[in-house]
Structure formats: structure tokens, C-alpha cells
Amino acid sequence: MCGIAGEIRFGGGPASARAVAAINGRQAVRGPDGEGLYQQDGIALGHRRLRIIDLSDRARQPMVDSDLGLALVFNGIIYNYKELKKTLEGRGYRFFSGGDTEVVLKAFHAWGAACVERFHGMFAFAVWDRASGRVTFARDRLGIKPLYFAEAGGRMRFASTLPGLLDAERAEPLGIDTDIDPQALHHYMTFHAVVPAPMTILKGIRKLPPATVMTIEADGTKSERRYWEPPFTRLPEDAGLSEADWEARVLSALTTAVERRLVADVPVGVLLSGGLDSSLIVGLLSALGQTGLETFSIGFETVGTERGDEFEYSDVIAEHFGTKHHRIFIDSRRALPALGKCIAAMSEPMVSHDAVGFFLLSEEVSKNLTVVQSGQGADEVFGGYHWYPPMLESTDPVGDYARVFFDRTHAEYAQSVDPRFVGPDYSRQFVEEHFARAGADTGADKALRIDTTIMLVDDPVKRVDNMTMAWGLEARVPFLDHELVELAGRIPPELKVRGDGKWVLKEAARRVIPSEVIDRPKGYFPVPALKHLEGPYLDMVTDTLNAQAARERGLFQRPFIDGLLKAPNDSLTPLRGSKLWQVALLESWLQTNGV
């Protein structure tokens, strides 16, 4: 788990090692165990390393294989690297290191960009071919690992974090357009702060979509190929499967996913919220024979009627499976000072209240471990949200989805932002186009597909990556094992959304964990102080939105801002998020990054 960086210069002349060093500096927290930089002619590559597999210097990056004429920077992990290594050795390849990085390098040489289809893992990488000058980029199927890039002035730069590119721009300007992208702003304010790839909130910085290979030729010519998309349809060979059959298949696939994510040369713990998903991971690890497992839970003080912790449930699992459990309690006096650092750790604006929770949890966990498993993704993959059941028989899937998931109507958006940002209803158009694609049978399938392949990638998954990597902590997400996701897509949606959701997963879990954790009311990762803004939190928000930088930027109409500040807790989105926090977070992120 690392941070990667680079610059490609087209048309002759050396790439800038200075710019890449600036990115490396910004990404130091992602890889506190080592730094590397390689520059030759029109290419410069940078890397920050977190030692997880092959802790020796033999696995340092950038990794250059002079015999093959390739140089690689790689962020992530390939869980099946040992099996692939044996296959490659059978083809005559010889290895000088014991980790997965060199396997990626050799696999690329053996199979080209199609090597990604053999990988089980989470990854973003760039490979430079000395002979052709071609650079190939790739990102994992579910976009767990990030990859940002910007093109200007005859050069292209890339990084694991968007702010890294801004730091490089300050170190050696290219002329990157940092104006607000109107389409991205619409998504941020409407599509529950989800800005789908390749967009970011800034016009001149893009991100590689998940499951995508992008090739840049020496002259700057670019091409892209999407190599994976899970089907949300029923297969003929599955027609005879009973409910019990599906439960068994889910449990088997999840067990495999959890076991894969034990591959490491350091201990692996679990972020245990006390909910079904993380509890099931703990139960399966116990069934796999793991002992001395360290688990971690976080809680906040209650604000009003908003309960701030779920320790009673995490304690049940910790006691049942005999884990070494860490309860981490955070009061508001600690959370408030951490907000600035949390926002600085965001590659993009992340409005969800639990970002600071993950940030503070990761800080504490990183004092004990460098690798954990997390239950992120189960709600999207197995249908745990309340908007899925009504969509089974929906005659207006787009409208029904938008009414529940969108933070505001297009009319309200037009009254919120400055007129220069008002255009088409981009978010509704995006959902319409996505729902119209083949490969999803019902309205529920369409919603599950967009949430799994779009919303999940650019909200919860990105949040977990950014907040854990801010402390040099690697988070692995077994519910996003691509084979498990493919299996879940084939399951009849009524088996997923039955009851309060995730029915087939819950029934499978009864074979592993106590029912009191399964049948409990649905919980979440609560940070009540950011939902009900008052006291110093409200003062911070007010100062941010009244700052000279905010007034000069003029993103929002002033009557809209003044109305929110006058009644800070009266305006909530359909998903019960604070509209005031939403706009304040965006403005704070822009100010933090000097945009």
C-alpha cells in the first residue's frame, strides 16, 4: 500500500523530477517506510512505500527491470501473487524479490495490459516501456485504489492523491485548470456528493475510472479500455438454486475473500463496528483458525437523540470470538481539532459525517497494526439500503432512485449555486444513461449496479482509502472481492432486499455469528456533532463560509448560505445529511488546498 507519482513529457526534453518529488512529499503519509524516484528522458516516476509484503529493500520502487526494459510504480496488493509467480517461473521468468510488485512487472511483460484480468486484488499502477516510450495505467475493478492525472503544457502528471498534483503545480507550474467543473459541482450537490470518474471537482484534474486500462503513447496519444463490468442479470444455470444454495455460495465466496486478504508479512486486524458485516469478517477469520486477532471500534458522545457509539454490539463479537479488542472513545473536544487534518487528507471533498471517525480510528489503529480488514461495501453489494425494496416493481426507476438518493432537486440546485454554474440536470441525465444500459434486469438491479460500480467507488471506498492511508494504514475490503461481487449480481434481487435488506447475507451469517448482532436495528458509523451543528462546530462552519476566499469564489448564492446559517439544523437531505455541512465541507476543502 503506497503512493505513486509521475510525469510524462511529450515531444522531447526531460520530465521533471522536482514536480514528482513534490507529489512524493504530499503523499509521504501513504508510504512512511521508504521513498523512491526514477527519471530517464521524458519519464519521471515516484513512489512512497508502506512495507506489507517482502519487507526488504529488494521490493523497493520505482522498480526497474533493465533486461525487460520496463519500469513500474504500483500501489496496492495482488492477493494471488504467489500463484501467478509460479506460473511466470514456469514460463522462464526469474525473480530477484519476494513480493507482489515484481509479479506485476513480469506479468505485464508476459501478458501485456491483459495481465489485470488475472489479478485478484486492489491496485493502481503505471508501467513505462523503454523501447516504445509507452506508459500503461491500470486501476482495479472496484476502484479501491485511486489514480489522478492532469495534462497541460505538453506534459502529463499522475498521483495517488489529487492534492499531490496541486503541490506539483505549485512546485513547477504546467497551467492546470483549477476552476470548478460545473458538471462535477452538480453531482456533488445533487448525487449525494458522488463525483463519478473521470471527473473531479476541478476541471483540469481527472481520475482513471475503475476497471480501466489507459495507454499513453510517446506522442501523447491516449486510449482506454474497460476490462470488467459485473452483470446484474439471472443466469440460466442458476435457475434451480434454492435459497439455501445461495446462502452456501455466498458464505463460501466470502470465506475465500476474507482468507485472500490475510496475505501479508505483518499481522492483519479488523475494524469492528459491531454491525453484521465486520462481525461476519471476525467470525470467518476465527473459523479460518486465526488467533490473537486484534479488533478496533470507535464511539462518539451522544448529541441530542443521536447515539454516538455501538460498543454494546462490538463487545458481543469481541467476547464471543475472544479477540484482543480496542474500544476507542472520541469526545467532541478531540474531534473538532482533527477536522482540519481530516479535510487535508481528502483527495476530493467528502461530505459524509463519518470521515473524521475513520480518520481518528485509523490514527489509533496505526499505533498497533498496518493492515486491517473492513466491512465496507456490503450494503451496496447485498442490498442493505432502504431504497432497494421499492424498486423491485418500480415503473419509474430513475425517478424513484432520484427521490430517495438525490440531495436536492435541480430547481433547488439552481437556487443554491451561482448562476454561472447552472446548466442541464447533469445528475439525472447520468442516472438515466446508467439505468438504460443493458445488463441489469430490474429497477432494483439497476440501483444495485450504479451503487456498486459508481456510488460505492466515489464515496465509501474512497473515504476509507483516504482516511486509513492518512496514517499509513492499509484497509482491505473482502466484500469487494470481484468474484463475490459477480456472484452477488447474479442473486435474484428479492433475496437480497427481503426484510430490512441483505437477507441472503444475514441468513448465511447465522451459521457463523450470534443472531443478536444480525437481528439488531441497522446501525451506522455515527459522528452526531456534524449532523447537528452547534457550538464550536457551527462557529467553524460559519467562519469558513464567511471567509474572504469563499465570498470571492462565489460558488453559492448568498441568500442560500445565509438561510442555512440562520437555521443550521433545519435543512437535511433525504438521506438525513446536513446541507450546511455539505457546502461548508466543499468550501473548506478548497481553502485547505489553496484553490
Active site residues: 2
Strand, helix or coil at 478? helix
Closest CA to 361 of 269, 424, 462, 458: 269
Whether the CB-CB separation of 580 and 565 falls below 8 Å is answered with yes
Whether the CB-CB separation of 46 and 23 falls below 8 Å is answered with yes
C-alpha cell at 87: 506460473
Closest CA to 400 of 392, 409, 389, 391: 391
Q: Is the CA virtual torsion 43, 48, 54, 57 positive or negative?
A: positive
Under 8 Å CB-to-CB from 341, ≥6 apart: which residues? 359, 470
* Helix (H), strand (E) at residue 365: helix 355-365
Got the DSSP string for 199-236? --SBTT-EEPPTTEEEEE-TT--EEEEE-----BS--G
Whether the CB-CB separation of 457 and 464 falls below 8 Å is answered with no
Pairing mode, if any, of strands 294-300 and 63-65? unpaired
* Helix (H), strand (E) at residue 505: helix 503-509
Specify burial of residue 148 (Cβ count, 10 A radius: 0-12, 13-18, 19+): buried
Distance CA 490, CA 82 (A): 29
Under 8 Å CB-to-CB from 583, ≥6 apart: which residues? 189, 416, 545, 555, 556, 561, 564
